[in-house]
């Protein structure tokens, strides 16, 4: 486990990220601190977040119940070795490359029901869209980035999104006028899936159990 000075600096960094409105830290706060577990990113970033909260975040991430427990363990190598845990993977956020970010944001909001978590730049060049637990990062890039023919012929996916039931969302998106790269179907491995193609050709798989 890093020494206590390093952990104090990490807590200060989390505190600064929160004050700066840095959205990725909200996901870590929600996943680790129980009192923030039901809040959205916006609610977490708007809520009071003190140094004590940041220290608790560091402690729990390191495998301890509190900052005091972590500090005590820092002076006991045997206890530190017994209680420290490995890093916890909080979430994965696929990055999709787009040639027209405003058009992409409109598609994900109006067609797929996502909301914009943030957009950086003037004009924007990087953004994140969210719907429930799914997060997609959109990165503007000038010019093509893929072999378009191969991506279409082999259905090379840009992202996969798991959900509890694919059919209701498929019907919702159908009503919204979404054009599918693959319609709803049952797969041999026990899933029910469909694929959406965004305006830049990114293929997104939605998959749920086949009941």
CA 79 to mean position of chain CA atoms: 33
What pLDDT shows up at residue 90?
57
Burial class (CB in 10 A: 0-12, 13-18, 19+), 171: exposed
Residue 104: the pLDDT is 96
Domain residue spans in the chain? Answer: 4-83, 95-209
Contact assessment for residue 127 and residue 65, using Cβ atoms and an 8 Å cutoff: no
- Tokens of residue 55, six digits: 């220290």
Q: Could you state, in chain order, the average pLDDT of each consecutive group of 10 residues for the chain (211 residues)? A: 77 89 81 89 91 92 86 62 52 88 96 92 90 90 74 82 92 94 92 93 91 71
> Residue 84 has what pLDDT?
47
The CA radius of gyration of the chain, in Å to the nearest whole number, is: 21
The pLDDT value recorded for residue 155 is 76
User: pTM for this structure?
Assistant: 0.61
CATH of domain 95-209: 3.10.180.10
pLDDT at 197: 93
Between the CA of residue 7 and those of 16, 24, 25, what are the distances in Å?
A: 14, 19, 16
């Amino acid at each position: 486990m890093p020494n206590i000075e390093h952990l104090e600096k990490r807590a200060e960094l989390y505190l600064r990220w929160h004050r700066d409105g840095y959205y990725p830290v909200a996901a870590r706060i929600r996943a680790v601190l129980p009192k923030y577990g039901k809040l959205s990113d916006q609610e977490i970033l708007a809520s009071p977040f003190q140094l004590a909260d940041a220290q608790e975040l560091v402690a729990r991430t390191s495998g301890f119940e509190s900052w005091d427990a972590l500090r005590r363990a820092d002076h006991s190598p045997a206890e530190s070795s017994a209680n420290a845990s490995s890093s916890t993977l909080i979430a994965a956020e696929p990055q999709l490359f787009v040639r027209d970010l405003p058009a992409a944001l409109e598609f994900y909001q109006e067609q797929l029901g996502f909301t914009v978590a943030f957009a950086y730049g003037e004009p924007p060049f990087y953004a994140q869209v969210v719907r429930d637990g799914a997060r997609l990062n959109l990165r503007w890039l000038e010019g093509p980035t893929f072999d378009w023919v191969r991506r279409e012929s082999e259905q090379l996916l840009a992202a996969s999104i798991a959900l509890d039931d694919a059919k209701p969302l498929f019907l919702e998106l159908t009503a919204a006028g979404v054009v599918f790269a693959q319609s709803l179907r049952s797969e041999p491995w026990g899933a029910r899936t469909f694929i959406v193609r965004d305006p830049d050709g990114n293929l997104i798989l939605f998959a749920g159990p086949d009941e």
